[in-house]
Amino acid sequence: MSGTFVGMPAFPKAAHEAVGNQTLRANLRHATHTIRAKRANAVAEVSDWAELREAGKRIKDHTLRHLDRYLVQLEESVTAAGGIVHWAADADEANRIVAGLVKETGESEVVKVKSMATQEIGLNEALEAEGIRAYETDLAELIVQLGKDRPSHILVPAIHRNRGEIREIFAREMSEWGRPAPEGLTDTPAELADAARLHLREKFLRAKVGVSGANFMVAETGTLVVVESEGNGRMCLTLPETLISVVGIEKIVPTWRDLEVFLQTLPRSSTAERMNPYTSTWTGTTDGDGPRTFHLVLLDNGRTDTLADEVGRQALRCIRCSACLNVCPVYERAGGHAYGSVYPGPIGAILSPQLRGTGSEIDASLPYASSLCGACYEVCPVAIDIPEVLVHLRERVVQGGPVTREGNKVVLKPAKGHGAERAAMRAARWAFSRPGALRAGQRLASRTRRLHPRTLPGPGKAWSASRDLPALPAEPFRDWWQRTNGGTGDEGTAK
Amino acid sequence: MSSRERILGRVRRALADVPQDDPGYEDAVARDYLREHGSRSTEETVALLAENLADYRAVVHRCAADELASVLARLLAERKAAAVLVPPGLDEAWLAETDVARVPDRAESGAHELDRVDSVVTACAVAVAETGTIVLDGGPDQGRRRITLVPDHHICVVRVPEQVVSSVPQALERLDPGRPLTWISGPSATSDIELDRVEGVHGPRTLEVILVG
Ligand code: SF4
């Protein structure tokens, strides 16, 4: 499958530059491998992982298949609990609503807890244009914001930066935004975190408006859930007088009880912990505790178009754990920025082209940003078949066909100048329609793995200097899965 | 057309393929995962809670009910706390043996005031053994969410075994979603710098849990 990248536009150009950056690659490799190993342990600790994964998948699928009903129910229960619900069809509308709400309070700054949805709509920039300063308070987001950079990982947005770079950024930029970094700041993580604590605390204590996303919204009760580690989420959710949460419409679960599945699978899949340090839930407003005013902005921005695609809609099950990034050999080498979207890695490769359409060069190329190795599907806690969606989207790019754009049915023309993709597509289809051939190929690679060097000698050295040759597993995953009956020996096989 | 109608309309059109008789919620979701992992005696469950709390770097103490006041007095003294925040419904007997100045949790007290307090003592609503988590629900003996957030030192008292459950599913069924909940597993932490775990970014840097009973 190594020919997949040949002739690919946009993504490969970006990836090419990233691969040339040695620091970036070393940081990424270290980080993804560390989380990957820890995650496997955290998952192995619970014997019913396969059942939890299946339940999560089914809860999300059921919700998506009746999303209209659950949206209306959510609106009712949030309103009954004292919240105010707004609907935003696209990014511009969501930004207008939020800017308007902030202006109503008379404030000109807001504190933010990391939120993919607000990144997706470019909220900070939109607020800036209205004279409102938005402070990111997650440590990694702060690093990204101060560094005038973009996030490169869902969970660890500054994963591409090492401690030396972070020290540099803090020392140089903190004074621009508030309390400067302490004199003689070193690059130990504890000191850097302490500098961030002091810098941000003055903002939290005076903040009147908080902006958040949410990991889950419970239709039955109107409860919102934010899962985090640092406490910046709790600060933003409880200290300000006004709280504005911008949440994608796919984040609904029907009942309170459903949280028992996701509060088990999300922490283990994302940070490899039994439980993340802090989880906050709130239902509307509570007298004397937390914000007096709560606004919920329900965001579409391409989600209903994604929902209209019967194969692609499964991407909306995503709970943003980032496990698929950490196992992806393409992400590991290319880095998150190459995906040209706030959603990097395998999930980004299927979500961004659906949310935004495949009109642009980068979006048309994203379905090719994968080797279809299947590792992303294996780790996904809600069992999104990412390879299936990738192949489906490649087909759409190459052959065109009916899609929904901004709620309207349109027929996409086959992409021009994608001869290489067409060839790649044929190769992919060939392998997928011949599982025997795929298996044989994998087995062969496994059997000869001792012969695969970590770096190449002679003229190949330069090539391998920018590529960490992965060790091949002793046994192809399919074989292992079959032999061990899903890794447990006695559990039912996961789908 | 309002955006609400527009979005709901788009959702309905997008779901035209879903059959009328699509299974309802109860039938659609399999619940064959476990209610708890493994079987443990009550004592073992409490021991697991202690172990998992400590694993996430909370400082764990155990004592009998009549020792609680002296343990609390000792912990506050060790910390050299000059002022301790107290939720309105906290059992007065708990602090009977300390003379550290009490700061009541009042709705009027702003964040800056809370920032000057050294420690906070609260009870909890429930504790989860398998994950090493304590859950606060804003009850009178736990106070508003902010009081366990702004001060740098939080002492939480868990009554064992009554307040301890094994698992996340068992915890959820005990909790009232109408109340604001805070689930706490160890002190605040970040792994954002080269994945090195550092305790305490914004929340309390020290979490002490006293298991009483
Ligand atoms: S696609 Fe699956 S593995 Fe990837 S971030 Fe989403 S939930 Fe996690």
| Pick from B15, B145, B189: CB nearest A234 | B145
Q: Is A321 in the pocket of ligand 1 (CB under 6 A)?
A: yes
3-state secondary structure of A278: strand
| Pick from B37, B111, B180: CB nearest A47 | B37
Q: Do A254 and B133 touch (CB under 8 A)?
A: no
Find out whether A403 and A412 touch, Cβ atoms under 8 Å. Answer: yes
At A446 the pLDDT is 40
| Pick from B132, B178, B192: CB nearest A139 | B192
- Kindly state the helix (H) or strand (E) to which residue B102 belongs, with its residue range: strand B101-104
A:328-387 residues touching chain B, CB 8 A cutoff: none
Going by CA atoms, what residue is nearest to atom 2 of ligand 1? A380
At A231 the pLDDT is 94
Task: Tell me the backbone φ, ψ of residue B199, rounded to 5 degrees.
Answer: -80, 140
Residue of A nearest to B35 (CA): A260
Question: How far apart are the C-alpha atoms of B116 and A36, rounded to whole Å?
Answer: 41
- Residue that is written with structure tokens 């290489």 in the block: A420
Question: How far apart are the C-alpha atoms of B114 and A204, rounded to whole Å?
Answer: 12
Q: Is A316 in the pocket of ligand 1 (CB under 6 A)?
A: no
Percent residues over pLDDT 90 in chain B = 86
Find out whether A210 and A239 touch, Cβ atoms under 8 Å. Answer: yes
> How close A348 comes to chain B (CA, Å)?
21
pLDDT digits (tens, 9 = 90+) for A62-118: 999 999 999 999 999 999 999 999 999 999 999 999 999 999 999 999 999 999 999
Global ipTM? 0.96
At A467 the pLDDT is 44
Q: Kindly state the DSSP code that residue A211 receives in the 8-state scheme.
A: E
Question: How far apart are the C-alpha atoms of A336 and A153, rounded to whole Å?
Answer: 6
Q: Do B28 and A223 touch (CB under 8 A)?
A: no
Q: Say whether pLDDT at B186 is over 70.
A: yes
> How close A443 comes to chain B (CA, Å)?
34
3-state secondary structure of A489: coil
- Kindly state the helix (H) or strand (E) to which residue B55 belongs, with its residue range: helix B42-55
- Residue that is written with structure tokens 């709400």 in the block: A101
- Kindly state the helix (H) or strand (E) to which residue A139 belongs, with its residue range: helix A139-146
Question: How far apart are the C-alpha atoms of A216 and A304, rounded to whole Å?
Answer: 18
- Chain A residues closer than 8 Å to B10 by CB: 300, 304-305, 307-308, 404, 407
pLDDT digits (tens, 9 = 90+) for A280-337: 999 999 999 999 999 999 999 999 999 999 999 999 999 999 999 999 988 888 888 8
- Contacts of B45-49 with C-beta under 8 Å, sequence gap 24+, read B45/B129, B45/B161, B45/B164, B45/B165, B45/B166, B46/B129, B46/B160, B46/B161, B46/B164, B46/B211, B48/B129, B48/B130, B48/B166, B49/B127, B49/B128, B49/B129, B49/B132, B49/B158, B49/B160, B49/B164, B49/B211
At A418 the pLDDT is 52
More confident residue, A107 or A138: A107
More confident residue, A22 or B21: B21
> A415: CA distance to ligand 1 center in Å?
28
Question: How far apart are the C-alpha atoms of A59 and A61, rounded to whole Å?
Answer: 6
Find out whether A255 and A220 touch, Cβ atoms under 8 Å. Answer: yes
At A425 the pLDDT is 53
Q: Say whether pLDDT at A8 is over 50.
A: no
A416 class by beta-carbon count within 10 Å (0-12 exposed, 13-18 middle, 19+ buried): exposed
Going by CA atoms, what residue is nearest to atom 7 of ligand 1? A318
| Pick from B7, B37, B178: CB nearest A300 | B7
3-state secondary structure of A167: helix
B80: Cα separation from own chain's centroid? 24
Lowest model confidence (mean pLDDT) among A99-108, B73-82, B152-161, B194-203:
B194-203
Mean pLDDT of chain A: 84
More confident residue, A165 or A456: A165
Task: Grade residue A26 by pLDDT with cuts at 50, 70 and 90.
Answer: confident
**Cα separations (Å) of B95 from A48, A66, A234, B105, B114?**
43, 53, 27, 15, 19
CA proximity to A392, closest of A306, A493, A266: A306
| Pick from B11, B179, B188: CB nearest A71 | B11
B37 class by beta-carbon count within 10 Å (0-12 exposed, 13-18 middle, 19+ buried): middle
Q: Do B184 and A48 touch (CB under 8 A)?
A: no
At A226 the pLDDT is 98
pLDDT digits (tens, 9 = 90+) for A312-327: 999 999 999 999 999 9
> How close B181 comes to chain A (CA, Å)?
5
A238 at interface of B, judged by CB pairs closer than 8 A? yes
- Around Cβ B156, how many Cβ atoms within 10 Å? 23
Q: Is A324 in the pocket of ligand 1 (CB under 6 A)?
A: yes
Q: Say whether pLDDT at A492 is over 70.
A: no
Mean pLDDT of B106-123: 87
Question: How far apart are the C-alpha atoms of A288 and B106, rounded to whole Å?
Answer: 9
- Kindly state the helix (H) or strand (E) to which residue B68 belongs, with its residue range: helix B68-78
Q: Do B146 and A238 touch (CB under 8 A)?
A: yes
Q: Is A390 in the pocket of ligand 1 (CB under 6 A)?
A: no
Joined together, the tokens standing for residue A397 give 């790019």
Mean pLDDT of A11-25: 72
Q: Kindly state the DSSP code that residue A290 receives in the 8-state scheme.
A: S
Question: How far apart are the C-alpha atoms of A448 and B110, rounded to whole Å?
Answer: 67
pLDDT digits (tens, 9 = 90+) for A408-440: 999 988 877 655 455 455 544 544 454 444 444
Mean pLDDT of A215-242: 97
> How close A134 comes to chain B (CA, Å)?
18
Mean pLDDT of A384-392: 96
Find out whether B154 and B186 touch, Cβ atoms under 8 Å. Answer: no
At B103 the pLDDT is 92
Q: Do A71 and B7 touch (CB under 8 A)?
A: yes
Mean pLDDT of B107-127: 90
CA proximity to A228, closest of B149, B138, B168, B177: B149
pLDDT digits (tens, 9 = 90+) for A343-387: 999 999 999 999 998 878 888 888 888 888 999 999 999 999 999
Q: Kindly state the DSSP code that residue A271 receives in the 8-state scheme.
A: T
Mean pLDDT of A8-20: 66
pTM: 0.88
Cα atoms in the 13 Å half-sphere on the side-chain side of A177: 28
Q: Do B202 and A223 touch (CB under 8 A)?
A: no
Give buried/exposed letters for A36-55 (b at 16+ CB in 10 A, else e): bebbeebbeebebbbbbbbb
At B182 the pLDDT is 98
Q: Kindly state the DSSP code that residue A452 receives in the 8-state scheme.
A: -
Q: Do B11 and A261 touch (CB under 8 A)?
A: no
- Chain A residues closer than 8 Å to B27 by CB: none
Q: Do A229 and B172 touch (CB under 8 A)?
A: no
Give buried/exposed letters for A435-469 (b at 16+ CB in 10 A, else e): eeebeeebeeeeeeeeeeeeeeeeeeeeeeeeebe
A:413-442 residues touching chain B, CB 8 A cutoff: none
At A484 the pLDDT is 60
Q: Ligand 1: which atom is nearest the Cα of residue A386?
A: 1
> A382: CA distance to ligand 1 center in Å?
7
- Chain B residues closer than 8 Å to A68 by CB: 8, 11-12, 15
Check whether the bond before B161 is cis (ω within 30° of 0).
yes
Helices (H), A367-492: 375-379, 386-399, 419-432, 435-447, 460-465, 477-484
Q: Say whether pLDDT at A489 is over 80.
A: no
At B196 the pLDDT is 79
Q: Kindly state the DSSP code that residue A286 receives in the 8-state scheme.
A: B
Lowest model confidence (mean pLDDT) among A158-162, B185-189, B194-198:
B194-198
Mean pLDDT of A23-44: 86
More confident residue, B86 or A475: B86
Joined together, the tokens standing for residue A131 give 């004279």
Work out whether strand A278-283 and strand A293-299 pair parallel, antiparallel, or are unpaired: unpaired
Q: Say whether pLDDT at A23 is over 80.
A: no
Joined together, the tokens standing for residue B124 give 């909890």
